[in-house]
Structure 1
């Protein structure tokens, strides 16, 4: 990896959240934990120098790697040809921002997401891809440990919030183990964790955008009870209380105690 980086004159940048995995046991562990098979079309975000890509290619039907850095994107196919010649033809590289990709950008609909995600955009990337790609049925991503905790948190947890509530609209999410900072180059100043998800049906027929507005409002000021926190969204505290009672939720409760299905009922109450 260091040789490739030197050839490309690449210096990992904080701006792009670049910390490259150099440990082969770690990438093999990720592929195994992802439970992907030869029937899967895998989406990888932020492949970097290609360590996880090389582990994925022999295990799955195809890999589409989305890389925002044009230098890294241009090199990835050659790296695959050199180190995984028997499966390199199954790799497609998209030089693009993962936050902007659309379903039509993919020749084959991805069925699984497996990625070492840049820390600074991990949650928005996962939520965007789940919303944009209904074909995405499951995934395993490596993120900062604290982010992993927030994504997989259950209602009532002190770290339950917007990421966990919104992720719950799309999928069942769980922690899938820790990752040492020592498997990265350069070594980050935080530990990482694996997060696994499996898609589920939405808990409501209410528009997702409206439900997410309720979630955002509920957590914008965590110390406020829902009657006050949702006043702006509802139009007034009085109306917020009406919607909450119609949804079977106490106005004096707080957002961190509600499931995504609870938030959906509040949105439904406003529409009825």
Structure 2
């Protein structure tokens, strides 16, 4: 946010809103990719709802990072570029299903919540926008300590998305043979592609990697 606008926002709110409402506004000037509970006033350090027009060029890491650092957020509605909204809410099996889809599914169930046409903005952008609604999962698909390994497997699977898991996971697993062994032990066809797997399947593969050291 422009620092001048940030400074003007509380003044504008105080002039236009009832005092009890304006008094609940807290403007935090911080890096959204790093901000955490310690950066917020104690009264709002445990937010439960995220409503945001996310910067389009960093929307995915920003959203995933906020969900990781603020486990108290239970639901939200965010606006992103239309193509990103499609990827975040895509189910397994399609061409647009990928890394953002799987990683968001670790934290939440997401759904498209509508499009936002270009003419509603000024100046008018060159891209369409979309809304993504999400609700945090009651429990994550695995313990938090396994998340990094799951995400690494996801990154590897989609880095070569047209390859089978046996090939795509080879660098992550250490070899194609071990990748096949881990997939089979997890109940996953090593001849499948990453785009067919849901987050639970990636969790099973990552868990097998712990049980079967290289």
Normalized against structure 1, the TM-score is what? 0.73
CA root-mean-square deviation: 1.1
2:135 counterpart of 1:198:
yes
Q: Which runs of structure 2 are paired with 1:15-26 in the superposition (5 Å)?
A: none
Deviation at 1:72, TM superposition (A): 2.3
> 2 CA distance for matches of 1:97 and 1:231?
36
What are structure 2's unaligned runs of at least 5 residues? none
Tell whether 2:147 aligns with 1:213.
no
**Which position in structure 2 is the counterpart of 1:94?**
28
Q: Which residue of 2 aligns with 1:147?
A: 84
Cα deviation digits, residues 130-164 of structure 1 (max 9, x gap)? 00001000000011111100000000121000001
- The corresponding residue for 1:263 is 202
Work out the CA distance in 2 between the residues paired with 1:177 and 1:207: 33
Does the alignment pair 1:122 with 2:59?
Answer: yes
Greater fraction of residues in helix: 2
- How far off is 1:233 after superposition? 0.5
Partner of 1:160: 97
Q: Specify the alignment match of 1:74 in structure 2.
A: 7
Q: Give yes or no for the alignment of 1:253 onto 2:198.
A: no
Q: Provide the aligned length of Structure 1 versus Structure 2.
A: 205
Alpha-carbon distance in 2 for matches of 1:71, 1:163? 33
Q: Which residue of 2 aligns with 1:181?
A: 118
CA distance in 2, matches of 1:211, 1:170: 13
Q: Which has the higher strand share?
A: 1
The 1-side partners of 2:151 and 2:201 are apart by: 12
2: distance between equivalents of 1:158 and 1:136?
Answer: 30
* Off by >4 Å, runs of 4+ in structure 1: none
- Counterpart CA distance in 1 for 2:89 and 2:117 is 19
Distance apart, 1:175 and its partner CA: 0.2
Deviates more, 1:261-270 or 1:105-114: 105-114
Q: Which moved more, 1:83-92 or 1:129-138?
A: 83-92
The 1-side partners of 2:69 and 2:186 are apart by: 29
Separation in 1, partners of 2:16, 2:201: 49
Per-residue deviation, 1:83: 2.3
Residue deviations 1:24-62, cap 9 Å, x none?
xxxxxxxxxxxxxxxxxxxxxxxxxxxxxxxxxxxxxxx
Q: Equivalent residue for 2:174? A: 235
Deviations 1:79-136 (A, max 9, x none): 2112224321110011111101012222221100001111111111110000000100
Q: CA deviation at 1:194?
A: 0.7
